[in-house]
Structure 1
Amino acid sequence: MQNPQMKHLMKGAWTLSLAALIAKVLSAVYRVPFQNLVGDTGFYVYQQVYPIYGIGMTFALSGFPVFISKLVAEARVPNAQAEIAHQALVLLTWLSWAMFIGLSVFARPLATLMADPELTSLIQTVAFMFLTMPILATGRGYFQGTFDMSKTAVSQVVEQLVRVAVILLAAYFATKAHWSVYQMGAIAMSGAFFGGIAATLTLWPAYQRRFRQLRFTFPGLAAYQRLLGRFVREGGSIALFAALLIVLQLIDSFTVTRGLTASGVEMVAAKQLKGIYDRGQPLVQLGLVVATSLSATLLPSLTTAYARHQDRRFVQTAGQLLRFNLAFAAAASAGLIVLMPAVNWLLFGDVAGQFALQVNVLSIVFVAMINAYNAILQSLDRYRKMTWSLVVGFVVKLATNQWLTAQYGTAGASASTILALGVITLLLALQVPVMIRRELNQRYFLSKLGLTTVIMVAGVFGSELLLPLDSRLTAVGQAAAGVVFGVGLFITAATKLRLFTIREVLALPLGRRFLKAIQARS
């Protein structure tokens, strides 16, 4: 690839990564003021139906667009690329209408399975979002496949901004007008549809200009069958990995409330407890942003090394990806566990559900490693066994969640999530070539990481004992001091123990400046 073209591609990739980061942060952060406005029961109502939206958003935002961009890039010839995009649009239109009709018709049975028939109107509202999926997924995939990342990036940010605005406005007016939590939830869920419409409007002019003059002939059922097969095998795998946590949350929606009531908890209290349990979702999301955003810089190098048959470089880069993801995820997870009382009080106004949330944030480590293994295996084009690994994990969650919740409350539900993620991580790790698995513990990395994490946790825990926690104001001080002290301790211990090599530090953003600062002190 010519140098100007490579620069254009890398610039586009960074633009898309930045937009995805902004979208993730928005998706996590809005839940805090939302919960503060509507309370734990209102949060429960919203979060019960959110996974249905989340799956549709994943299809339209990161799952199918990535797969369609791959198909478009493979076609190379402009007219062939347009033909592929058109066929994808046809297939996704049928899929989206099937999902819209299915959710609309079966909304009440689904709500009943969630142990709360009053959720029917929310499910019917979120169904409209699926009507925006075909043009969003196809448009984003087509433009990414032709290396025009800016349109996808803008549509992502616009979609999240509009959706979050509608949700927060619904929560605000619900408190002023004294709406029921279900009325509030239905209007908040409409943000998914309006966000999708807004994103569609940002894509449509450019998409229409490209396709307006084209006429497509019917390629025959065989062509659509082949494309559908690839959608299921490859696109389905990509979408499932992107929706991993959301599928686990969907299982929670059907089983946690039932598990709580089966243990003798009254329905009103069960709804509140489920709302408290759902506080863990934005914490895990934010932790994953911290854990994986830096290591994302290695993904282009991984793909390039494999494409150029540079086996040794591929193995080294894969090892770096695993080590970075594990190190940053361990730091984020351990930090949140030790700071949970302050973080819980600061963000949500009390320390309810603390132990369940501490167990839940262990998810950060497993999901970060799953993402790393997924990137490596996708680079090797190994889709089938990857997908089965996910399916096995989902079955474990489904089989254990309600029983563990009935036995141990929401902490049991958190434990079920960790068990499922642990199974998926193990199955994926076994599929990675042995030489890459060995890279994970180069230079006693795991021992050094364990010691670094223990030093950080001990230091932060000790500092927290010196500061009282009796109000939201003191929670701000504890959380802020803990984060600053914890980051400083982790970096210092990692530097002293030589957790990362100089080459690995240089691979990180601002790595060169960090090295210069360390050398200046020594």
Structure 2
Amino acid sequence: MDKLKVEKTVLKGTLILTVTSFIVKILSAVYRVPFQNLVGDEGFYVYQQVYPIYGIAMTLSLSGMPVFLSKILASEESPTEQKRLTNQFFYYVSVLSVFLFLGLFIGSPLVALMMGDKELAPLIRVVSFVFLLVPFLSTLRGVFQGEMNMLPTATSQLVEQGIRVGVILFAGWLFYVNSLDVYVVGSVATSGAIIGGLAAIGVLLYHARGQMTSFYPLPRKKDRQKSLLRRLIFEGGALCFFSAYLVIFQLIDSFTVKKYLVFSGMPDLSAKIAKGVFDRGQPLVQLGLVVAVSMTATFMPTLTHYYKNKEISDYESMVTSYLKVSLAISMAAGVGLALLVPFVNVTLFSNNDGVLTLSLFVLSVSVASMIQTYQTIYQSQNRVHYQFVAAIFGVLLKSILTPALTYYFGTLGSSISTLFGLLGCLMVLHHYLVRKGFRLSVGTMFIVKLMASLSMMALLVYLFRYTCVTQGLLNTHRGMTFVVTLVGVLLGVSVYMISIVKFKLFSYDEWTMLPFGQKIYKHFY
């Protein structure tokens, strides 16, 4: 009975966090559209230059460190030892956070110079304060998650992001009505992260009332201390690195894109605006990822169950099904979005600047979705090391390619470097699994049928887009381009669904793992 109760608690907690994470991701992608509309491409560039720094702090306090702490606390039965580990964890994360804060605050002029814009220094100083909140947020969330109590984490996450987005939009409104300097507006917008973080700590402390003994200092055991530090560096570091993977790609862009556009001969203001246009791709990719990944979220529990029970044949079969479904959904999401970019661009951002750059950039939805698929497979096997190596390879590839490709091809080259970096990571992830003896082939016939389905969808959506463009609908008001986008999405989804049903792309078991999949199977087969 106790075991059943624990399983129900875990499932309930996982559901709460999953739903909250979904809402927050949608919120995090959507707010950038009205913000860009209020402050323009230059103002959007200013905010996006420092956003990755906040993104890394958020990953430390929300995804990476709390998960690591909850994992080590769950493996300890002694309450005294749990308190000791919590105390040591808080100490180590505090040292790291203070180091990052001081490095950014004192070194803000140098960091801004490395980004190619010395006026960013005040924004970097503001965002550096977020790191001082990380020890409190990560420790409190980790303790609650270790107790299988996900509600405090979920509530604090919603409060934090809600307040942050509110402050950002307020900053955009100030610019719109008062024509403030874009860097002043950027500083106000960035301060939302601090206000939201403080509010989140307040929520967590409210939930923790009466449990504060968990954070009282206890004598440290040197051997356990070293063990925890080692695990924090390698396991916690790997978790954080992979959780912040796309944010790290954005950070590389912050240090390279605008600077190398200027090096190539582009005027400074034009380079800022071009980078702002390039950054329009971020919310589009985020939304595409949310849709693609949420469609396959049900696979994780089944994979973990088969692997833990050493049912290797069933596990490999489930992995193959997972890869097939993920590949089909992610490819459709990437290709469909890329084809509709001209109308999406006008609908969301009022003009069609950077259409080719954005069309290439949103293709990264497909690759990033597949990376998350492989990450889920690795998590079900508890293989952290291999994910870390693959992630490092992708980041190095992106870092090497971005300066040269941006210099010679502008923001189009920046999009290409992102695609190559993600593809490099994906190839290493696949290679490691194959080396470990797992059979991962989805089959030649599946690939042929998938390509045929994608081609039919792409052809019809392209013809629809071409017709709308020739009729001048791209140059009308945003309401019309929204209608065109919506019709294009419905057309693409309908054609793709009919194709994969007619080609029998998925088995019955694969359909049942998708939202409404069982109903679709019963209706069409």
TM class, shorter-length: over 0.9
CA shift for structure 1 position 393: 1.6
Pair 1:178 & 2:183 matched: no
Hey, what does 1:511 align to over in structure 2?
517
Distance of 1:99 and 1:367 partners within structure 2 = 28
Hey, what does 1:157 align to over in structure 2?
158
CA shift for structure 1 position 327: 1.5
Distance of 2:145 and 2:459 partners within structure 1 = 46
Kept after mapping to 2: 8 A contact 1:263/1:407? yes
After superposition, residues 235-314 of structure 1 pair within 5 angstroms as: 235-314=236-315
Kept after mapping to 1: 8 A contact 2:278/2:411? yes
Moved more, 45-54 or 207-216: 207-216
> Tell me, what secondary structure is at the counterpart of 1:419?
helix
**Partner amino acid, structure 2, of 1:512:** Q
RMSD of aligned Cα (Å):
1.7
* Deviation readout 1:139-183 (Å, 9 max, x if unpaired): 222222221111111111111111000000011012212210000
**Partner amino acid, structure 2, of 1:415:** I
**Partner amino acid, structure 2, of 1:242:** S
Pair 1:90 & 2:105 matched: no
Moved more, 293-302 or 459-468: 459-468
> Tell me, what secondary structure is at the counterpart of 1:309?
coil
Distance of 1:297 and 1:214 partners within structure 2 = 36
Distance of 1:213 and 1:107 partners within structure 2 = 36
Distance of 1:351 and 1:465 partners within structure 2 = 15
**Partner amino acid, structure 2, of 1:453:** L
Hey, what does 1:125 align to over in structure 2?
126
Pair 1:490 & 2:491 matched: no
Kept after mapping to 2: 8 A contact 1:290/1:328? no
Moved more, 214-223 or 37-46: 214-223
> Tell me, what secondary structure is at the counterpart of 2:144?
helix
TM-score computed with the length of structure 2 as normaliser: 0.95
Q: 1:51 to 1:58 in 2, by over 3 A?
A: same
Q: 1:436 to 1:462 in 2, by over 3 A?
A: farther
Give the counterpart of 1:469 among 458, 474, 480: 474
Moved more, 72-81 or 225-234: 72-81
Q: Which runs of 5+ in 2 are unaligned?
A: none
Pair 1:459 & 2:460 matched: yes
> Tell me, what secondary structure is at the counterpart of 1:179?
coil
Q: 1:321 to 1:138 in 2, by over 3 A?
A: farther
Distance of 1:240 and 1:363 partners within structure 2 = 19
* Deviation readout 1:37-56 (Å, 9 max, x if unpaired): 00000000000000000011
Pair 1:415 & 2:420 matched: no
Taking only the aligned residue pairs, the percentage that are identical comes to 39
CA shift for structure 1 position 366: 1.4
Distance of 2:14 and 2:372 partners within structure 1 = 18
Hey, what does 1:80 align to over in structure 2?
81
Q: 1:440 to 1:17 in 2, by over 3 A?
A: farther
> Tell me, what secondary structure is at the counterpart of 1:237?
helix
CA shift for structure 1 position 218: 2.2
> Tell me, what secondary structure is at the counterpart of 1:296?
coil
* Deviation readout 1:103-138 (Å, 9 max, x if unpaired): 110011000000100000100000111111112112
> Tell me, what secondary structure is at the counterpart of 2:474?
coil
Q: 1:439 to 1:400 in 2, by over 3 A?
A: closer
Hey, what does 2:167 align to over in structure 1?
166
Q: 1:209 to 1:217 in 2, by over 3 A?
A: same
Hey, what does 2:117 align to over in structure 1?
116
Kept after mapping to 2: 8 A contact 1:82/1:211? no
CA shift for structure 1 position 200: 1.1
Q: 1:109 to 1:42 in 2, by over 3 A?
A: same
> Tell me, what secondary structure is at the counterpart of 1:452?
helix
Q: Which runs of 5+ in 1 are unaligned?
A: none
Distance of 1:459 and 1:109 partners within structure 2 = 51
Distance of 2:479 and 2:220 partners within structure 1 = 65
Distance of 1:313 and 1:422 partners within structure 2 = 28
Kept after mapping to 2: 8 A contact 1:376/1:432? no
**Partner amino acid, structure 1, of 2:492:** G
Distance of 1:116 and 1:409 partners within structure 2 = 18
Distance of 1:369 and 1:440 partners within structure 2 = 15
Distance of 2:145 and 2:520 partners within structure 1 = 33
Distance of 2:451 and 2:362 partners within structure 1 = 17
> Tell me, what secondary structure is at the counterpart of 1:75?
coil
